[in-house]
Structures are given as C-alpha cells and as structure tokens.
Structure 1
C-alpha cells in the first residue's frame, strides 16, 4: 500500500518545483551545461535523449516530501543515466535535492546510510583516479570533493530535521502552557465565584434572615399591641436598609475598574460594638481583651464577617443571648458562645454560613471550629476562629 506523507499544500509546492526543474534543465541543456560521455567513440548524445533522465529527475522532485525514499531511488537512477551520457548541471542539482529530501523527510536512519554510501563512493573514486593517473594526490583531492558534494545536502537535511523537531517541541510546549493557563484561568474564575458567593451570603443573608425571622414572629403573634408592632416594623425596615446598603456596596465594588492591592474594606473589626448592638432580638455581652490594633485589610474584613455571621446564627438558633470575646494577641481570636435553642445551627440552611466562615479562616491560614460545648447552664454552641496576621502587612 502506497502511503503519501505530504499534505496538499506541500504537494502543490513540490509540483511547482518539478516544473521548474524541467524548464531549468532544458535551458541548461541548450546553453551547453553538460559534459561528454564515458564512451567518446559514440560521440555526444542528442539532446532529446537527455530529456528522459531529466523528466525522471523532475518526477523525483515531485515525490520529495510525499515519498522521499522513492524519490531518492528514482533520482539516483536518473543521475546515473545522465552521468553515463555526460554529467549535466541540471541532474546534479536534482540529485543534491534528492539527498537532502531523503534525509529531511525520510526515516531517521536514512542519514547514516547516505553518509556511509557517500564516503564509500568517494573513496572508490579517489582510489580509481589515483591508480589511473598514478598520482595519489589527485585521488585524495577527488575523494575530498566527492565527500563534500555528497555529504553537504545530507548534513543540511539533518540540520533542517533537527530544527523542525525543536519547532514541534516548542509548539507542543506552547500548547501545554496554553492549557495550563486555561486551567489557571478556570481555577481563578471558580475561586472568584466562591469568594463572591461567600461575600454575598455574609453581606445580605444575615440581614434578610433577620427580616424573615422578625416577620414570622410578627405574623404569628396576633396579641401584640400597636406600639410593639411599630417597633418590630421599624426594626425590619432598618435591617432591610442595611442589607440593601451591603448589596449596593458589593455591586459598586464589582463595577469598579481595576483592582487595588490595598483597597479599603467597608467594615472593620473595631466596629464590633456597633455590630453587636444592631443584631435584632439578641442581647450580646461583648468583651475585648488584649490591645486592639490596626489589622491588615483581609483580616479586618474576615473578622467582621465571622463575628457578624456568628451573632446572626446566635439570633436565629439561640435563646436570645450570646457572649462574644475578641482577643488581640499574636493572632485575632473571635469566640461566640450562645445557648442552643430548638433548632441546631445550620440545620435549615445547609450550613452555608459555617462553610463561609471556615473558608474565610482557612484563606488566612487560621483555624475555625464550631459545635456544641458542655456548659453548667446547659448546652452551648461555640464558634471560634483564630486569624493569624503579620504586622508587616498592615
């Protein structure tokens, strides 16, 4: 079965080369670019007889990339026939291209066979000429000329083959880098989506959770007087306004062009007292130990969000009271204890708040724990986050 190794574009180019070989060979014949044959008694061969080897050589040029070994065989036969009639420039150039093409496009081991063949022919010609002329100097010179003429296209083919191999390796490396870059981009997009989902939950879900809880209480209690109902409605209104403000702030942050490395945060941990007082339906005993200091932006915002989520969970799932401790030391430690009510924290929300607090803590290299804790006054739910920070980051 014949296998054609060249593509359509290469085949069209080689067909053009073959046409040029025929036309160029005819021109070289008419200007006398050929020598006498090895049989002087027969005289010079007519030009029309040389057209046969020329056409065969041109056909070998057409096969140079599609069937390189077949091209070498046909080219060698055409060169030998032309050499016997009297070597011509046209077939010599074509044969040089046959040697180059077989090395550059043929099997890898072809170069060793061609170099060995060239050296053998060169030594044979040198010895024959040295013996015939009784001059080893001329034999050595002819051997060097033949070696140079026959090995030069082979070595050129080797260099071109190595270049193509390096180019293919570089393209494959570039494709691998592109795939890795695409994977990195997808990872960054997923990480950004996770961060946005966490921020959206922490910023809005707490406020709307409080609104839902207060609205349910207002609907279920039909015995409330008008003053109490107005107080609850005002609390609902304040919670909705705070949630809307948080949502607008996030949208503005997403719309802002560019990314600042030290972009200011909208909330800080030193606002903990105001945050504790703003949680509806929860009485918070807040304590701050250690020496409060300025924190890096990421730690400051994460600490505020963790405290906000912990107090919101205490309000939704607890008994209306909570103890919060913020300790400033080598790391910021936030601890919130609240008695467990009738519903386990995270049971009706899929635990999204707990997951968000854990992710925020892990991103900063800290530790987070949440769960029931034995207590003399009953079972207490404790949330504890340790946020390390470096003072050089501030």
Structure 2
C-alpha cells in the first residue's frame, strides 16, 4: 500500500492537470469560504478556562445547536446536529512531539484504522471525535479543555477537518472509513489523507459537479445525506471553508469510487499553485525586513524561480523556498547563479542541503560585494 496521497508530492504536473468543465452543469456542492478575525488569546489575563478560544463566526458555524426535521434526519437517535472532528494524529505528533487523546476520552473517540494498524499506527492514524456542545455549555462557557486545545493550538496547522451529521459516532466513523484507502486506475492502493484541510480544499472543489462522488462522500441515500456539511481551515487558518451537498434529491450512494489520474493531477496542480503563492507571500514578508531591498517582489518572478527549482530537482517546500530566496537576493544584486546551480546539480546531497549551500554561497558573495563597496 502506498503511504500518503500523491497530493503531498510537489511535481511538475502542468501538462496533466485538468479541471472539470463546469459549463452547462448544475453544481451539486455549496462551497463557501469566509474570513476570520484573529482572537487575542495571548493578551487575555483571564484564567485559562475563561480565555477566548474561538472566534464568534467559526463558533456559530460549528456549534450552533440545531434540530432537524424529517427531511434531514438520517439514522439519528436524537434530532441534534452533531459536530465531529476528524483529527490527524500524524500532524499533531509532528507539532507536539507526542500524541495523546487523554483530554478527549469522555467525548467519544474512534480510530478509523482497524486491526494491527490501529496499534502500530496509533500515533499517526485519523481519529473521529465527537465535539458536540449543548446549548447550556455554550451559554455558560463550560467548554472542555480538549476543545480549547483544538482551536488554540491546532487551528491553522492542518490537523483535521470538521463534519456535521445527525448520525451517531459509530455510524459516521463507518462512513469515513470507506475513504481511508482508495484505488487508482492501476488498482494501486493509496492511503488517502482527505482529512488534511489542504487535500480537502482541492479534492472537494474538484467534485463540485460529480454526482456519483458527492453521493458517496456525503452518504446520500433515498435523498437524505448522512454528512450535512464539511468545514475546514483555509489560508493557514485565516479563513474557513464550508461545503454542503445541494440538489441531491435524486442522488443515491451506490457506486464505488477511486482516484483517477485526472483528479490526482488537478489536486497536484492546485497544491503546487498554493505552494507558490505561500512562498511568494513569505518572501515578501521576510525580504521586506531587509533594508537594502526597496523594490517589491514580482509574483511572476517568484513563480518562475519555484518552477526553476523543480527543474533542478528541489522538491520539498523548504528547499524550494530557500532556492527562491537565494534567487531573489541574486536578482537584486544582479548576480548570476548559473555556475553555482551547475556545481550543486553534480552533488549527491539532498535538495534541502543543496538549497542551504546555495544560500550560504550567495550570502558570502553579497558580503564580499558589500566589503568592496565600502572600500571604494
């Protein structure tokens, strides 16, 4: 089984990425992205249990208590709309250095892996956690510490996605397990990290007009969805996206789905465009602090350096960023890096090591240039 979906690889796939043609089609997904205002957690002097933990807009979107009617309720022991978190233990482990669900034990937790994998990969598995809050909890501010951790420590760091459903924890978990492993067109298995917000952002936009996939993912049977909505962070937590199925009355979950070459290409291309945008924004911020750089970076130039980095086999985001950073400085000082790039291309070092060496060579050249300028 392949570990990790190919959406996590940064490849030059501009020739394979194809978007679905939405012309003359009825969109079956409602996709809405809303900006969030930052909350001043660090500035608050209130006790930890009384500090702000989530913005009002996101709080209302995720936790407003709603009672369904007969047209929306599906396999529910009661009529309250529930809020679930599909948490990525691998990402939390990477952030914290350790993974623990001790604070969530009383909430309702299920691992989406089974058998030996549940034990062997317990620190890297996806977990479904019931985050539902009652009206009384919302009014009195009686918020579990786990909820506070999720939004104060993990929001904006790609740790999971949220789901709304009237169904119970076991039913939703069984549904989500269907998508942990998917086959591609060559019958190769992929461990599909759809619970990473970056993957979800691309994948669900791709299926906007695909009734078969929408019916499968939202569990639509007899005109009723099991999953009412998906909610996940966007723009590194500065906004969130909410996705709901619509015009689904005639849809029915009955067909298996896999991963096609075209949709994998679409997700790779979307991820690559987002990576280039993030690198451009980071460079803008970092280089704006350099007193000698007065001119504003052009986004097209940065994109070109990123593409060039790929052609020189720099494939990790860190290495591509360092490569673009070095070329931004070289561009300002009118330095030619062609010979340096050829020298590094002949080395067997990793792309991160090469990018660091490129940066060091360039900084040494700039220091020499400055010293010569001072002597003159």
TM-score normalised according to structure 2 size:
0.20
Rg comparison, structure with higher value: 1
Q: Give TM-score, length-normalised by structure 1.
A: 0.19
